[in-house]
Amino acid sequence: MTDCFIVGCGYVGKRVAMKELEYGSTVRALVKRESRAQSLQALGLDAVAHDLDSITVSAPNLSESILYWFAPPPPVGLIDSRIASFLYSIKKSSLPSRLVLVSTTGVYGDCKGSWVKESQPTQPRTDRARRRVNAEEFARHWCLENRVAIVILRVPAIYGPGRLPIEQLKRGKHLPAIDKSPLVNRIHVSDLVRVCFASARIEIDHNAKIPEICNVSDGNPSTTTEFFLSVAKSLGLPDPLISEHGKDEQVYDSVISKNLDSKRIDNTRMRKWLGVSPDFPTVEIGLSYRDSFKEEP
């Protein structure tokens, strides 16, 4: 029986937890809020609440467990103090067998629209991405020092139930023209869960000095505007208005600002090494999935 410990059991983490339960694993989870812990307990998870930003962080016994790390870094600064404090608190006598760290493709920075493989050097352009690079580096050094296997997943924008721009479309604001809209890589949440599950089980060398890094993507990047147009079509909503002047006060700034780096994420290693080919290789196929428009509880 596999023992799993999930830190950050939110949108993706909860789905991974449920897949592990279905597989017969024992699953423990750490979340920030007590209300969240109680909702997960109702689903059969052994969940506890603890603030990773608190002064005292104490990891439980993780002996031979798979440690999934979904928790984001702090909102400010250049380091991820959360993962550092947690990993430092793990006793040498209770080390996990593996760490699956969910990072972001934002660590690559702006690649001018070129295809990006795992060998691409990290060049983060935002503090958010720099914190992710710091988390990767700290986790890599900690795992090497303690002979814990590690898989780092660099994940793009995630879409699926509860992660679609439905309300934005209904408000009817403008979008930038397609040629002025940022190019975005995506993955359907169901495919991401499969990637996480496979990462916990792929055979790797515990003593490797170079961490196993794997890009995650459906392999078919598209612009933000194209994505919104596809969602509108799937819902039978009118096409949103297009601003030919690029960015203005009516454009979805909160969405656009997170995706200013232009790159195309190569998912060859995900498909060949992990053996996970996307069930939803395009946004259009992902949106045709009947559960994609379900509301999140």
**Burial of 240 (C-beta count, 10 Å sphere; 0-12/13-18/19+):** buried
Q: How far apart are CA 233 and CA 68, in angstroms?
A: 36
Q: How high is the pLDDT of residue 172?
A: 83
Q: How high is the pLDDT of residue 292?
A: 73
The DSSP element (H or E) to which 214 belongs, if any, is: strand 212-215
Residue 75 lies in a domain: yes
Q: How high is the pLDDT of residue 171?
A: 87
Residue 289 lies in a domain: no
- Which CATH number fits the domain that encloses residue 194? 3.40.50.720
Q: How far apart are CA 175 and CA 126, in angstroms?
A: 23
Residue 171 lies in a domain: no
Distances (CA, A) of 239 to 111, 173, 181: 30, 11, 16
Q: How high is the pLDDT of residue 159?
A: 97
Of 76, 237, 218, residue with least CA distance to 158: 218
Residue 114 lies in a domain: yes
Residue 113 lies in a domain: yes
In single-letter form, the type of residue at position 225 comes to T
Domain span at 93: 3-159+188-217+264-278
Running along the chain, 297 residues long, what does each successive block of 10 average in pLDDT? Answer: 94 98 96 96 95 85 97 97 96 97 98 96 96 98 95 98 91 85 94 99 83 96 94 90 62 55 95 98 91 69
Q: How far apart are CA 163 and CA 228, in angstroms?
A: 12
Q: How high is the pLDDT of residue 251?
A: 52
Q: How high is the pLDDT of residue 249?
A: 45
Residue 241 lies in a domain: no
Residue 64 lies in a domain: yes
Q: How many domains does the chain fold into?
A: 1
Residue 168 lies in a domain: no
**Three-state SS for 158?**
strand
